[in-house]
Amino acid sequence: TWVPETSTWTKQSGVACSGDATIDGVDYHHISSVSVGPSGDMLIASRNLNTIWCVDAKGGGGASALKWTLSSLDGASDFAFGRELDKPYTPHSVVQLADDRVLLIDDGSSRPGCLSKSGFKGCWSRAALYTLNLTDGTAELTWQFEDPHRVDGATTVDADAPGNLTA
């Protein structure tokens, strides 16, 4: 089970405030990117919450400003995924393309199974492309490029192992 406060939240010490005061705080959301989509909406990625929000950037505020949420957290996403592995974990650099597909870097450091005690076998990063269906509330992982190197520097694919295809 992913426990954000022990696995990804970072403590910020000595943050400067007005009047020469400093405080210690927790980087709860860790906003990793903000971009403007083709319709002028803003896409905001929260690394620590494994969530991307699409908000109306034209103003208005309030509850109607949030257009949709894409998240791997239980109950937080407006979209269902085909598989657990399709969900984004620790998202960065989110952009929405002209055809409304969403492209992001999935850092994967909060992916289930990404633990030091397992030798980081569940850890991997990827570029991921999602097609969002706003009508039926599904997110389809339509393309990905997985980084072939694990956290420990080894490759995740042994090209010489039986059953692996090589060019």
This prediction has a pTM of 0.74
Q: What pLDDT is attached to residue 160?
A: 41
SS (H, E, C) the chain: CCCHHHHCCEEEEEEECHHHCEEEEEECCCEEEEEECCCCCEEEEECCCCEEEEECCCCCCCHHHEEEEEECCCCCCCCEECCHHHCCCCEEEEEECCCCCEEEEECCCCCCCCCHHHCCCCCCCEEEEEEEECCCCEEEEEEEEECCECCCCCECCCCCCCCCCCC
Q: What pLDDT is attached to residue 165?
A: 33
For each of the chain's 167 residues, which pLDDT tens digit applies? 445 555 555 666 777 777 888 777 665 566 778 899 999 999 999 887 889 999 988 776 677 788 999 999 989 999 999 998 899 998 989 999 999 999 999 888 788 878 777 777 777 889 999 999 999 999 999 999 987 665 555 555 444 444 333 33
Q: What pLDDT is attached to residue 11?
A: 62
